[in-house]
Structure 1
Amino acid sequence: MPTECIPYKETNYFTGLILDYLEEKEELKTFYNRFPGLENFKEQIEEKSSFSKENRKILVKALKQQYAGLETSEATLQHIESLEEEKTFTVVTGHQLNLFTGPLYFLYKIVSTINLTRKLKEKYPENNFVPVYWMATEDHDFEEINFFNLNGKKFQWASAPKDAENDAVGNLSTDGLEEVFKLFSAEIGGGRDANYLKELFEKSYLQHDNLAEATLYLANQLFKEEGLVILDAQQKDLKKLFIPYAKNELLEQISHKTTSETAEKLNELGYNVQVNPREINLFYLNNGLRERIIERDDEYFVHETEIQFSKDEILEELKEFPERFSPNVMLRPLYQEVILPNLCYIGGGGELAYWLELKDYFKAENVVFPVLLLRNSALIQSEKLDEKRRKLNISNKELFLKQHELINRKVRQISNIDIDFSEQKEHLVEQFQQMYDLADKTDKSFLGAVKAQEVKQLKGLDNLEKRLLKAQKRKLEDEVSRIAELQNELFPNKSLQERQTNFSEIYAEYGPELISVLLKELDPLQAEFKILTFGKK
């Protein structure tokens, strides 16, 4: 399998915060405990060894209930059983319940998680490591998850189920997905792998009542042989473990106090803050409703409803019905670490950005802060496309340029004339420097006139360069078209493939080899962007 690696900073798709984190910049070290090197997990394991035995039992019981009736692998069942043992730890990734997994990076997240557990087992064989996919069943952003892209077409869950705007997405009925299935079946075509995908969609969404059950089935089918454990944390016994922290949130608003200070520090360092905390970062979840909780003068209100509690009433509600209290993006990480013997969270750049706001909050709640690891990123191409790229004399690194930059660069290289006026501009600037010196010695009032003339002439050279380049593009129209076509195929909607394309588009062509290649090639500790070239089946 031909592969090439490109440093993340040379792709132009990652923020300064993430690039600085990967480079272990000194100013960021205060926002996390340990950088994700294999040797650093020794201390993380020791610190997390204090995880409660009782919490382990409750976790295993909840998982067994969740998996009841679901056919899974012996590897997954053994992993679930092993979570009761003191020497078993998890590595977690989380993701929304996107329709049919959504974009490709869903696979990359899970593969990164599985592969890290394998590396940890090699390094620390006396321990066990379980890969966990945390389903974001309590999310309520239906518009973000109700579609996927295949062959340049958008397949959307058009008829939104009841309560789609307010309820947790895991509760949403799968009614209405029959039409999506018909359209998907027609588009994906025939053949063994296409038929498998159609069967997978049908069994996931048309034979399960809600989105949580459908996603559990789907992810299990794709990764059960790798021992993946899938968790839906919207479960009463698990939420009971979070009661003390939810109580602190309601009464003390600890997350807001600690993360606000951290967000301000990140801002001062010039980083854009991913999430601004609310005063209370809990939602009230009940009967198709998920709305945030607001406190005013010791009274608690559920936003845009008539539901209201006194302090004593809301604490009683929390005690009796902990499952009705849903952590938002700021509290979900803490909930995760309270109920799992977890060492590491693997996520995308946006996720790691808000995790970096949370260290002081974890410290205030006396919960171990996990290692943070950026998930793998990759571009998948066929041998045919790779051959086109080489014929056009485009390097893999150049593919990541903005399209106009790529085309201009190639036109200049292909042209038999030099359409780069950099030398002329430098010469012009030198000439004008002499004129500045002359004006300064004679009459300084002429400095403005000299400057205006310099700007005018430089602009004239810019315009002439652009016109010549445009004329040469017309002359080389075929090459320009082929360059644009190649890049558009690899970067749909001028974005990373992994953020746009659904896995089914590639699976239909390469079948199970897709996942086996990802498991072989993606190294979660190799902080580089990978280009994977698939040959013909």
Structure 2
Amino acid sequence: MPTDCISYQESGYFTSLINDYLNQNPDIQSLYHRFPSLENFEKQLFEKEKNFNSDIAKRKTLVSVLEKQYSNLAVSDLTKWNILALENPKTFTVTTGHQLNLFTGPLYFLYKIVSTINLTKQLKLKYPEYNFVPIYWMATEDHDFEEINYFNLHGKKVRWNTESGGPVGRLSTQGLEEVFEVFSLELGIGKNAEYLKKLFEESYVRHNNLADATRFLANELFGKTGLVILDADIAELKKHFAPYAQEELLKQTSHRKVLETSEKLKDYNIQVNPREINLFYIENDLRERIILQNGFYYVNNTDLKFTETEILKLLENHPEKFSPNVIMRPLYQEVILPNLCYIGGGGELAYWLELKSYFEASDVPFPILLLRNSVLLATEKQAKKADKLNLSWKDLFSKQQDLMNTKVKSFSEFSIDLTAQKAFLRQQFDNLNKIAEQTDKSFTGAVKAQEVKQIKGLENLEKRLLKAEKKKHQEELERISDLQNELFPNQSLQERIINFSEFYLGYGETLIDKLFEELQPLEQEFKIVIL
């Protein structure tokens, strides 16, 4: 079976900004604090320890909130220990965040959490005098319900058809009984199928809101590993963030600082653009922007309107009504957690790279940013098939048309590449052009037109040769494309499309055990995991 490795940069699936970050391009080094290496965590620890431990109340609040949130769950001893350890000044966190996708959504939900847990284990070995707690930050305050209300199984969408206008974490799970029936039929029978049915039912049918359902699900999958799951849509935690929210309301610091940084990223695709005020007003069925206009604070699309005094009073008494958007949420996270590192996908890291100057203005340490593990799951049968077809993993990561062209050229008994002939033709026309320059200008134009025509003719012959050879080797090319389509559904990354249940049906607990065994979070390598 293929044994080659694929770096993130070689995979072709990451943006130029993320590739430059991974390559530590000097042009963007001002946008992050410390690059993720075991050695760099030492300075990060000292910095965060000094900054975060100045207010011991934050640790007490965090532990109190987590104990309440876990009060109705079966909690592993390791998770209990980790929650209590957060009160210890020598305890720090590694955090990943994720939307509340139905039944975890795409596969990379698992990879984020396994990366986070495995990094805490590495840090404990390197710095044994400290404790490291893996945190899954549930994105309970998001409102993009259309992004999370489905998952893909066996090429079909399992969708939850309902409406949501407020924070998704507060959304009622009513109606998920029907989704459960559809899901159950699709799973079929067997031990692993029965486990998945039970897991879905206990998570979504027996809990009243999406936050509780997702917490139960993540705890069932990862609780024994010590994962701590946090819902930060809580008044007690937001009280600690209130000074930063007040700064935002009065001075709009984030808008100014992020715009300054965005200028440094003008050659890249900017991930998010800041608004003047990067806070939402939220209630159970409402999540709308706060807009400052003519000295008043308006809640968009409502009749709500506040003076400066009124909105500051509201913030003091009801901080839970203020929700940070994508620009301010990272700061909220780093204010309430003793966090060292954020683990996220390429898109997430791209918007974090816009925020460093805002963190500096807020006097909050900027965390180490680590690209989560990316994984291609393949069966032994698929790996053997790739070997039989003489395909490397690098081949399989290629765009399909490029792969087909490369393979047909390798199959052909003669060269399909007419580059040498085109070069020879150009040389002949160079000589003709020198002669033409000594005669009439109209002759020069005729020579150039003939050159274009002849080169075009060779290119067409090259295409026809390629097409003819493809037809000749059609059967083998179909086997190659079939394998690539299995591994890269819809010509995209498997991890962005398929739900974990599709693999769990065949492999059960082995799937997650294998991920813990194989994933190395500090390696810049697209991991191929053979099941």
Counterpart amino acid of residue 104 in structure 1: L
Match of 1:219 in 2: 218
In structure 1, what is the Cα distance between the partners aligned to 2:77 and 2:320? 30
**Count of residue correspondences:** 528
SS in 2 for 1:134: strand
2:495 is equivalent to residue 509 of structure 1: no
SS in 2 for 1:406: helix
Shift of residue 439, structure 1, vs aligned partner: 3.0
Runs of at least 5 residues in structure 2 that lack an aligned partner in the other structure: none
SS in 2 for 1:241: helix
Match of 2:20 in 1: 20
Cα offsets for 1:284-329 (capped at 9, x unmatched): 1014100111111211111111111111111111111110101000
Match of 2:320 in 1: 323
Identity level (%) = 62
Match of 1:122 in 2: 125
Q: How do 1:118-517 and structure 2 match up within 5 A?
A: 118-157=121-160, 159-161=161-163, 164=164, 166-267=165-266, 270-443=267-440, 446-517=443-514
Runs of at least 5 residues in structure 1 that lack an aligned partner in the other structure: none
TM-score, normalised relative to structure 1: 0.96
> Are the aligned partners of 2:170 and 2:284 in contact in 1 as well (CA < 8 Å)?
no
> Are the aligned partners of 2:254 and 2:278 in contact in 1 as well (CA < 8 Å)?
yes
> Are the aligned partners of 2:233 and 2:320 in contact in 1 as well (CA < 8 Å)?
yes
Counterpart amino acid of residue 494 in structure 1: Q
Distance 1:128 1:448, change over 3 A: farther
SS in 2 for 1:69: coil
Counterpart amino acid of residue 244 in structure 1: P
> Are the aligned partners of 2:297 and 2:305 in contact in 1 as well (CA < 8 Å)?
yes
In structure 2, what is the Cα distance between the partners aligned to 1:363 and 1:445? 67
Distance 1:20 1:446, change over 3 A: farther
Distance 1:155 1:386, change over 3 A: same
In structure 1, what is the Cα distance between the partners aligned to 2:30 and 2:235? 35
Distance 1:196 1:502, change over 3 A: same
> Are the aligned partners of 1:3 and 1:531 in contact in 2 as well (CA < 8 Å)?
no
> Are the aligned partners of 2:2 and 2:391 in contact in 1 as well (CA < 8 Å)?
no
Moved more, 230-239 or 525-534: 525-534
Shift of residue 518, structure 1, vs aligned partner: 0.7
Match of 1:111 in 2: 114
In structure 1, what is the Cα distance between the partners aligned to 2:445 and 2:258? 50
SS in 1 for 2:401: helix
In structure 2, what is the Cα distance between the partners aligned to 1:437 and 1:180? 75
Distance 1:111 1:441, change over 3 A: farther
Match of 1:6 in 2: 6
Shift of residue 423, structure 1, vs aligned partner: 1.8
> Are the aligned partners of 1:3 and 1:532 in contact in 2 as well (CA < 8 Å)?
no
SS in 2 for 1:450: helix
Distance 1:451 1:298, change over 3 A: farther
Shift of residue 478, structure 1, vs aligned partner: 1.3
Alpha-carbon RMSD: 1.4
Cα offsets for 1:469-528 (capped at 9, x unmatched): 222222222112211111111001110001011111111111111111111111000011
**Match for residue 56 of structure 1 among 41, 56, 59:** 59
Moved more, 458-467 or 42-51: 458-467
Match of 1:83 in 2: 86
In structure 2, what is the Cα distance between the partners aligned to 1:471 and 1:263? 50
> Are the aligned partners of 2:409 and 2:415 in contact in 1 as well (CA < 8 Å)?
yes
In structure 1, what is the Cα distance between the partners aligned to 2:385 and 2:499? 23
In structure 1, what is the Cα distance between the partners aligned to 2:226 and 2:440? 81
TM-score, normalised relative to structure 2: 0.97
Counterpart amino acid of residue 211 in structure 1: L
Shift of residue 4, structure 1, vs aligned partner: 4.9
Cα offsets for 1:157-204 (capped at 9, x unmatched): 1x214xx1x211111111121222112111112211111111111111
SS in 1 for 2:111: helix
> Are the aligned partners of 1:2 and 1:533 in contact in 2 as well (CA < 8 Å)?
no
Moved more, 364-373 or 427-436: 427-436
